[in-house]
Structure 1
Amino acid sequence: MRSYAIGDIHGHLDKLKAAHALIAADRAACGDTEAPIVHVGDLVDRGPNSAGVIDYLMTGQAQGENWVVLRGNHDRMFLGFLDHPYIEDPILSSHVTYLNPRVGGEATLQSYGIADAFSRPKAEITPLLGAVPQVHRSWLAGQPAYFLRGEALFVHAGVRPGVDLHDQVEDDLLWIREPFLSDTRDHGALIVHGHTNIEAATHYGNRLNLDSGAGYGHPISTAVIEGRDAWLLSAEGRVPLTPQRGSK
């Protein structure tokens, strides 16, 4: 059972389109036009065109593309800010708001034409948020937190080890690092995720991390998964992602 997966996007529409082009080439090579493309979340923040990323994915789904788009922690923070600009995500440190440069939310607002949000008084921000179309908000809020297909579970951050999938909570699915990253147990499926930035996509045997730092100027990782085997897609074709031990 074949599936395609794309790592964290972070507002980089050009890189997202390049990832889709790699998948189109692999589809042509193997003759598969039906396998879904799973985007593991963090569509927004840091990059220059979060609005364009949302519009591109939303339009593709509406046109019948077999695209699965998962909700990431940055996507949740964006939605929370739009609803309540004065309330922070409970997982964040109290001093880190959505507009903190570390988060990159100001770049997302700029993509909707809202300038200088970080330096504005909070009272001035709320009236400007109408620039974010309701259709974008509703679509983003409707995306799932995970997708299970065959031997692969696609999720943004990971899972709480030892907890049944149906008992997992969204805070973990969107935010977890430890103890997930250092746990070498089999989770019942290959966990395909992003969230934790590493130098290159890496297969750890029980999980596959696809967050190669697109939000920090690096490429988006694009992979094809067949059973529990995975390959990174490149301009030259498939590159095997050989399982290795270790945590990151």
Structure 2
Amino acid sequence: MRLLPFPRDISFRSNEQDPAIDVLTYAIGDIHGRFDLFKKLVQTIKADAARFDGKCRVVLLGDYIDRGPESKKCLDGVIAMHRQPWCNTIALKGNHEQVMIDFLEDPLAGSAWLKFGGLETLRSYGISPESAEPDEAELEALHWKLNLAVPAIQRKLLRSLKLSYEAGDYFFVHAGVDPRRDRETQTEETLLWIRDAFLKVERACSKSVVHGHTPSDTYTDTRWRIGVDTGAYATGVLTAVRLNGTQRHFIQVR
């Protein structure tokens, strides 16, 4: 089924049928440097998945870094997930990963990033700016320090992150989709950054969208949208959803 916009002519499942998925799947919301919660949630998911037959799928919805204290460890944790024999892992890109990539390529991108959670990420690599608002010379120095500190395997991970993933009647993405555009005209900026235009419609596309990006005190569970960003760095709550056939179950750690 193509990902098409709402409300144009599209092939919806009938109203009597709930969205279904092909393989037992867990989707994890924004981690934001909370490696402690990430590790605890993965352990919980592994134990939960052991109750079912077959190998499960784990979709990571992006924003592994920034704001929390252990961004470097979180990227290592994502790498480790790809090596787990009990699950297949799909890691998506969040807007925070994109901003980090931008700074690795262009030091001037750091001015906004440091106010956006990048300061905590730099500290996780043992790098501390000398001033609260670095000038161009200091940004250049921080740019080179981070380039030296980020290991090759993490660079490879950052380059490999996907923008979206589809399975069954579900579409997984970091931020959401623009309901006013068709699949071919969805931009990377939209998939990583969109909020209101996506959140304010009952159904944004022909699939049920699972996303993070917009933090909330609790998860969102509607037929055509599941939101699992519960602001882990601030609330201490990290959330995942388990999708199994047409069933949904939410898992949280604190």
1:147 and 2:160 equivalent? no
Counterpart contact for 1:151–1:228, Cα < 8 Å:
no
Distance 1:6 1:28, change over 3 A: same
Report how far residue 186 of structure 1 moved. 5.4
**Residue correspondences, number:** 225
1:234 CA displacement: 4.8
**Alpha-carbon distance in 1 for matches of 2:97, 2:71:** 10
Question: How high is the TM-score relative to the length of structure 1?
Answer: 0.84
1:124 corresponds in structure 2 to: 141
For 1:106, the equivalent position in structure 2 comes to 119
Which entry has the higher C-alpha Rg, 1 or 2?
2
Separation in 1, partners of 2:139, 2:153: 24
Aligned-pair Cα RMSD in Å: 1.9
% identical aligned pairs = 35
Shift of 1:231: 1.1
Matched, 1:72 2:85: no
The answer (yes or no) to whether the contact 1:162–1:187 under 8 Å persists in 2 is no
1:92 alignment partner in structure 2:
none
Q: Which has the higher helix share?
A: 2
Gaps of 5+ in 2: 1-21
Distance 2:140 2:214 in 1: 34
Please state how far the C-alpha of 1:117 moved relative to its aligned partner: 5.9
C-alpha contact (below 8 Å) 2:179/2:204 kept by paired residues: no
Question: Does the C-alpha gap of structure 1 residues 193 and 218 become closer, same or farther in structure 2, counting only changes over 3 Å?
Answer: same
Q: Does 1:37 align with 2:58?
A: yes
Query: Does the Cα contact within 8 Å between 2:172 and 2:209 map onto a contact in 1?
Result: yes
Q: 1:123-148: CA deviations, max 9, x gaps?
A: 43233121112321221121101010
The answer to whether the 8 A contact 2:203-2:225 is kept is no
Amino acid of the structure 2 residue aligned with 1:168:
Q
Which amino acid letter does the alignment assign opposite residue 82 of structure 1? Answer: L
TM-score after normalising by structure 2? 0.82
Taking a change above 3 Å as real, the CA distance of residues 10 and 147 of structure 1, as seen in their structure-2 partners, is same
What pairs up with 1:1-248 in 2 under 5 angstroms?
Answer: 1=22, 2-29=24-51, 31-62=52-83, 65-87=87-109, 97-100=112-115, 103-116=116-129, 119=132, 120=134, 121-129=138-146, 130-185=148-203, 187-234=205-252
Distance in 1 of aligned mates of 2:69 and 2:143: 21
Pick 1 or 2: higher relative contact order, CA cutoff 8 A, min separation 6.
Answer: 2
Structure 1 segments unaligned to the other structure (5+ residues): 89-95, 236-248
